[in-house]
Amino acid sequence: MKPFKHIALIANVELPEVTEPLKRLCRFLEKEGYSVALESKTALLVANNTLPVFDYLDEELKLDLVVVVGGDGSMLSVGRSVAELNIPLLGVNRGRLGFLTDIQPDDMENQLIRVLAGDYIVSNRFLLEISLSRKGEKINSGEAINDVVVHPGSSLRMMEFELYIDEQFVYSQRSDGLIVSTPTGSTAYALSGGGPILHPNLDAIVLVPMNPHTLSSRPVVVGGDSSIEIKLGLRNEHSMVTCDGQNDLIPQPGDVICIEKKMQPLRLIHQADNSFYATCRTKLGWGSRLGSSNRNR
């Protein structure tokens, strides 16, 4: 029995290089007898008038799997929706790094045959829930798979804020902002900011200061169940809260940003032989094994 029967395809239509593998993917899935639905913009690239088309992911589609053709940014955008619906997500890499997308177009059909037959692993990735409060009243919210970044927005001035973890005061800081990252996001913006790499299986959150006006401020790793509060200073007139580099919340001076782990995880599908460390070696340029004479040293 096939673990996946009803599959949705979503592509990053802004990438011209997705068209050819997307058409191949449609032909392959139809030939193998899968029920395929296309996101409306994706359908324009395929030019297939026989497959059903949808505008938004919802429960009525009764999907077993969503396949994204694109890069990590596309996976993040779709991932926030499928996590809520508890639909697993698989990525065909047409981006640059591809930490989340491990199906390669050159050997796509052979890799997919194994995955769709059940030869895969599931990696559960937790999301962050963000709420923005003003004078004790919640005024906005958001979600992030990679990270939440509090920053000065269009202003070139440093911002001021206070950090609280589990209602305990940690520090006040003047800096270019703060990155609050999941393990999934630890290889993204947080890594560029000097943060540590966290294995995806860790139940932890990393906080990375951005250019702090002190030499003693360093990244901090806290438990995944921690409640994080960032209270903005009264001079932060142009601050922004950016989720996954895609969605912005606009706070005002004195607002409070609360960040916590979302209970419903994102289920990523990977090939059975997928290795996080091998991905790091490939994507980050880590050194490969030494000669056989040095392996035991």
Q: Indicate which residues carry an active-site annotation.
A: 72
Please tell me whether residue 239 adopts helix, strand or coil conformation: coil
Question: Which whole-number Å values give the CA distances from 78 to 47, 114, 217, 248, 271, in the listed order?
Answer: 22, 23, 35, 17, 19
In terms of Cβ atoms closer than 10 Å to its own Cβ (0-12, 13-18, 19+), residue 190 is: buried
Give the list of residues 6+ apart from residue 29 with CB closer than 8 angstroms, or none.
Answer: 7, 9, 36
Confirm if 71 and 102 have CB atoms less than 8 A apart. Answer: no
Backbone φ and ψ of 15, nearest 5°: -100, 110
The DSSP bridge partners found for residue 172 are 162
- Structure tokens of 18? 């997705």
Confirm if 206 and 131 have CB atoms less than 8 A apart. Answer: no
